[in-house]
Structure 1
Amino acid sequence: MAKSVDDDMKTLSVRRLRAARSSLSSLAATLQDEIGDLAFNNYRTYADVGNTADLCNEMFCSMSATTSELKDVVPELFHRIKKFYVDSERVAQELGLLKKAAAKENPLWDLFTLPNVMEKCIRAGHYDSAYSLTNYATQLAQMNLTKNPVVLTIVDTLNASRHGLLDELFSKFLGPIDLSTGILVVNNIRKIPSISPTQLRVTILQYRDMYLEKQIIALFGQPGFLQHAIEVYRECMYETMVLYLAVFPENDFMRRFDMIQDPRWVQWQLASQNVVLQQWAYRNLNRLFDLIREAERKCPVDISNVVAKLMTFAFSFGRMGLDFRTIIVSEVDSILKVSFEARVNKATLTLANKAGIIGYVDIPKHEAIAEVSLEINQWDALCVYGNEVLRALNDLRPNLAMIQTLKKSFRTILTWLDRLMAKDKVQMAKKAATLFIKCFIPYVRKNLYTFFAYETSFRKVSGSAVSKASFESHFNLLKEDLFLGCVQKEFFMELYRSLEPEEKSTTVSIEGMDFGESEC
């Protein structure tokens, strides 16, 4: 009973407690009067009332102590109740927003699907739609809607997809592409502000390089590799240059530049905007020539067929202002020179390593230069060397560098013979030197005059720039500088001086020869 009363007292407010206190005071006064009447009329009842009064006094003392404790707790309780009210309002508001967001008709669900839509647009080739989605993401960021973490995540995803869009657009240049498709792709790339014009030009050419390299790798090991490689280079470079000149017109840039040019100031002359394209083309040409050199090192190449294809290649680009026929001539001459020098050096080393063969050498029976040089057949190693030199000359175009190569080879052989004379094979070495100087070198020179005649090979090219005397002086394979550094120089010079009258008569006979109009 007492506990129930205490619980009821704890739930009462202060106002009600005060009202109850006033009411109890009135009731207490009335009770005192009634107690007095009871005490007078009935003592037993008076005693019960006294006990009841003591119990009530004890109860009210306990209530007073409890009320004092509540005075300290009430402010904190009031603060917590107010905070609970604010939190409940916020929770209710967020719950309402969550219900709205979870509704099927909420446009937020469409926002969540934008990354997937972006990916589908890129894969399907709808580049305009994909670019519109990236613009929409930019607008969301400009409207400060990215304060919402959900919107920020979507915007970041769309911006990251822009790189995928660029990769997809540039990957179109990794294969064959027609002009209309290429222009459409470039126009779509230009819409993306993070790509500068120069970066766009360079990147397109880089992707075309990857496409070209992929085709060349696929051709490795196939028969007719060089011919197919030249054709692949021609098709890919022609396609690339047509596309490049169509989407990057140089005259448009120069016209816009002229509008802002101030004639009152001296300005630097700007480089052509197609200089990137020209450098790209020349670099690919150098790579093509590297392939030709590599193939030439592995096995002999039909250089005439290669030159014909290269000239056709160059003619296709001449109308675009990129005529590289002179480069082809220079590179082919360089390739032939290296090949000729390698073959002659190999033959020279082969001859110099067969010293024992000199034992079969005999001195020619007559001093005149043989027409077919039958005496040379007495030295088998020299015949092998001479045949290899003649084969190399047959494959060589007119090239002045071949004389230096032959002289270097002759000097090596004479140095080798000079060393042999210092040993116990003096007589055989002298016989070999006599055969080499008096028979072999004049025979090779006569073949040179036949292969590369002045009238047919040089005069048509150089005109009067090179005189016949200069031509003959340059083609003179036997000079005193061949014997420099030799111990037996005097012996070699004696052979050389004995040959001079015969050289003059040979020169006269060569001058009277009719070489015809055919070219070597």
Structure 2
Amino acid sequence: MAVDVEDESILASIFKDSFPESWRDNQDFSVYLSELSSFGVDKLSREPERLSEERAQILQQTEELAFCNYQTFIRTADCTQNTYRDFGRVESSVTRMLDKLPGFGERCRSFMKEAEQIGVSRRMNSLTLNRHTEILEILEIPQLMDTCVRNGYYEEALELAAYAKRLEKKHSSLLVIQGIVREVRQSAQLMLNQLLQQLRSNSQLPACLRVIGYLRRMDVFTEAELRVKFLQARGSWLRSILAAVPEDDPYFHITKTIEACRVHLFDIITQYRAIFSDEDPLNEAPVNEAAIFHGWVVQKVAEFLETLERDLQRGVGGRLDSLLGQCMYFGLSFSRVGADFRGQLAPMFQRVAAETFRRAVREAADKFQEDMNRYTLIALPSVLGGAPGNQTGTLQPPMSLLDFQPLACFLNNILTAFNDLRLCCPVGLAQDVASCLQDALNTVTRQILAFHRAEESAFSSREKQLFLLFCSAYAEDLLPFLNRCLQVLFPPAQIAQILGVPPTQLHRFGGLGSIDLVVVLQPLDFLLPQRETQIQDPGPESGGLDPESVQSALRDSEEPEEETRGDEEEEDFSVD
């Protein structure tokens, strides 16, 4: 029977101090209060007595129950105590277990991960075992590449390098592949060095073709760079050949250099043209790749000309004509490849010939001065028993000069210089040779005058007569003979042909290629017998050409093939 809220509040206010607050929630207590409130006065007055009797009855029953079942209560208490103790142990064990559960779970997860990794590794190992042969082949690529390169199997090495490039494209992220590719590149660099070294050796055209083919397949150079590398390598080999030529003897050095350049440089040019195709001719290549070859050939020709000029300056003896012939043949052979350089040889040999002649003439003049310082006028019978005189129409030296030792020695030295010049005698040197010889003769004239001034006061009549004969031989025999020698070296007809004038008009050009005897003998006029006045050549003011202009025309008209004369046009000048 439920209790209304209002009744409950009334009961609570009536018995608020009679029972603990905790009883309020007891259902039985609420039911009892409801029943109690329904009792009448009589029944309510007897309620305490009933409660006392019921209490006593309950206490008696309880005592009887306790007496009859005390052992059960004891065992129950023991069980309760044991149960409490066991529950405590269980609680502590559960607490320890709960503390250890997170670590255990973490270790379980770690074990799962390790187990997964082990499983993956096992599957990879199984796959690796199945692909062992293929993997081993890939790992041996660097070693195989190095073996092929060192043994010269370049075809196989190129195939391995191409295979390594494909592997790199597919598996560039794998460290093993990166290491393999790196080692293959090192071997490829070694192969590149070996191929370039082959080009620096004595390789023939088939070998050069193979090497260039390998270099093109390696794809490390552009076409222009490949041409430059080829020319550099072949040029290095040519320099090694030229460097091996002994330099002690200039003539031997330059002849061997000419031979080496003519043979090997021509081979290099042939190899280049067979390997690299240039549609444009060599001398018309504007820019692009053909200009590389043109520049290299020009450089090599310039280096040869520098070597030639250096050796010519060192001196090649009397073999200038032989050297010129070899150089001309060299230039002629190069004309077939469009690199004819013969036009640059003429000025070089002309300078050397002029310098050699000038040095010989200067030495002859110095020797004449020494002879005059030691000369004594002594009356000796003439070797030929006759007086000195002109020997017109012959190139035999005047025998009368043998009576005068300084003049004979001077003529011998000059004739030696003429003989050396005759071997390589460009027509353009006509004026230079004549001017050089005239300067030397002016020096000789001054030496004769100095001898006369120094010895005139001590001359006897016989010595004076001999000195006059000395001067006459110098003026009438030596000088005209030297002029005739100059005409043999530089024929007037040839000079006139070059100048485009008749030979009879050649005298209008200021005595080209001859000695001006009047100028040379003018200081000795007071010692020489009276001669008929010679007709002097008209100068430029008479309508002739300027000698300097004529000399320039002679030099410009020189052709390399006509620089030397045949021996049939000249005689050997000598004085026994």
Q: For this structure pair, what is the TM-score category when the shorter chain's length is used for normalisation?
A: 0.5 to 0.7
The residue aligned with 1:237 is 265
Check 1:319–1:461 CA distance in 2 against 1; reply closer, same or farther (3 A cut).
farther
2:327 to 306, 310, 314: 310
Check 1:79–1:195 CA distance in 2 against 1; reply closer, same or farther (3 A cut).
same
2:216 to 182, 190, 208: 190
1:158 to 176, 184, 208: 184
Q: Is the 8 A contact 1:360 1:378 kept in 2?
A: yes
Quote the Cα distance in structure 2 between the aligned partners of 1:435 and 1:196. 80
Quote the Cα distance in structure 1 between the aligned partners of 2:508 and 2:288. 43
Count residues with an aligned counterpart.
445
Check 1:237–1:41 CA distance in 2 against 1; reply closer, same or farther (3 A cut).
closer
The residue aligned with 1:400 is 428
The residue aligned with 2:300 is 284
Aligned with 2:219: secondary structure? coil
- 5 Å-filtered alignment, 1:112-131, equals 112-131=139-158
2:71 to 37, 41, 50: 37
Residue 402 of structure 1 and its aligned partner are, at CA, apart by 6.5
The residue aligned with 1:174 is 200
Q: Is the 8 A contact 1:357 1:380 kept in 2?
A: no
1:130-180 CA distance string (max 9 Å, x none): 33333323323333x121111012222323433333333333433444444
Check 1:75–1:482 CA distance in 2 against 1; reply closer, same or farther (3 A cut).
farther
The residue aligned with 1:300 is 317
Residue 206 of structure 1 and its aligned partner are, at CA, apart by 2.0
RMSD: 5.3
Amino acid corresponding to residue 288 of structure 1 in structure 2: F
Structure 1 residues not aligned, in runs of 5+: 1-34, 255-267, 484-489, 506-514
Check 1:358–1:174 CA distance in 2 against 1; reply closer, same or farther (3 A cut).
same
Quote the Cα distance in structure 2 between the aligned partners of 1:138 and 1:88. 37
Amino acid corresponding to residue 113 of structure 1 in structure 2: E
Q: Is the 8 A contact 1:121 1:130 kept in 2?
A: yes
Quote the Cα distance in structure 2 between the aligned partners of 1:132 and 1:462. 71
Q: Is the 8 A contact 1:376 1:440 kept in 2?
A: no
Check 1:65–1:85 CA distance in 2 against 1; reply closer, same or farther (3 A cut).
closer
Quote the Cα distance in structure 2 between the aligned partners of 1:157 and 1:301. 62
The residue aligned with 2:166 is 139
The residue aligned with 2:375 is 360
Quote the Cα distance in structure 1 between the aligned partners of 2:121 and 2:234. 55
1:15-66 CA distance string (max 9 Å, x none): xxxxxxxxxxxxxxxxxxxx973785899xx7xx899789758756754764
Quote the Cα distance in structure 1 between the aligned partners of 2:404 and 2:534. 18
2:340 matched to 1:323? yes
Residue 311 of structure 1 and its aligned partner are, at CA, apart by 3.5
Quote the Cα distance in structure 2 between the aligned partners of 1:108 and 1:356. 97
Quote the Cα distance in structure 1 between the aligned partners of 2:436 and 2:409. 18
Report the TM-score, using the length of structure 1 for normalisation. Answer: 0.65
Quote the Cα distance in structure 1 between the aligned partners of 2:196 and 2:178. 28
Q: Is the 8 A contact 2:354 2:432 kept in 1?
A: no
2:125 matched to 1:90? no
Aligned with 1:323: secondary structure? coil
Quote the Cα distance in structure 1 between the aligned partners of 2:123 and 2:524. 114
1:70-94 CA distance string (max 9 Å, x none): 54x6445534542453244235424
- 5 Å-filtered alignment, 1:252-263, equals none
Amino acid corresponding to residue 200 of structure 1 in structure 2: L
Check 1:447–1:405 CA distance in 2 against 1; reply closer, same or farther (3 A cut).
closer
Quote the Cα distance in structure 2 between the aligned partners of 1:95 and 1:470. 113
1:378 to 382, 399, 406: 406
Quote the Cα distance in structure 1 between the aligned partners of 2:213 and 2:370. 73
Quote the Cα distance in structure 2 between the aligned partners of 1:465 and 1:80. 124
Quote the Cα distance in structure 1 between the aligned partners of 2:524 and 2:82. 159
The residue aligned with 2:230 is 204
Q: Give 1 or 2 for the bigger CA radius of gyration.
A: 2
Report the TM-score, using the length of structure 2 for normalisation. Answer: 0.59
- 5 Å-filtered alignment, 1:48-127, equals 59=89, 63=93, 66=96, 70-71=98-99, 74-75=101-102, 77-94=104-121, 96-98=123-125, 100-101=127-128, 105-127=132-154
Structure 2 residues not aligned, in runs of 5+: 1-68, 380-386, 392-396, 458-466, 538-564, 571-576
Residue 117 of structure 1 and its aligned partner are, at CA, apart by 2.9
The residue aligned with 2:512 is 474
Residue 355 of structure 1 and its aligned partner are, at CA, apart by 5.5
Aligned with 2:156: secondary structure? helix
Structure with higher RCO (Cα < 8 A, 6+ apart): 2
Q: Is the 8 A contact 2:201 2:237 kept in 1?
A: yes
Check 1:400–1:104 CA distance in 2 against 1; reply closer, same or farther (3 A cut).
same
Quote the Cα distance in structure 1 between the aligned partners of 2:324 and 2:148. 48
Quote the Cα distance in structure 2 between the aligned partners of 1:499 and 1:155. 101
Residue 396 of structure 1 and its aligned partner are, at CA, apart by 3.4
Residue 299 of structure 1 and its aligned partner are, at CA, apart by 4.2
1:417-463 CA distance string (max 9 Å, x none): 979999x995369999979985766554332222222235x456665
Amino acid corresponding to residue 519 of structure 1 in structure 2: E
The residue aligned with 2:569 is 519
1:446 to 484, 490, 509: 484
2:286 matched to 1:270? yes
Amino acid corresponding to residue 333 of structure 1 in structure 2: Q
Quote the Cα distance in structure 2 between the aligned partners of 1:346 and 1:286. 33
Amino acid corresponding to residue 134 of structure 1 in structure 2: A
Residue 208 of structure 1 and its aligned partner are, at CA, apart by 1.9
Q: Is the 8 A contact 1:376 1:383 kept in 2?
A: no
Check 1:39–1:192 CA distance in 2 against 1; reply closer, same or farther (3 A cut).
same
The residue aligned with 1:3 is none
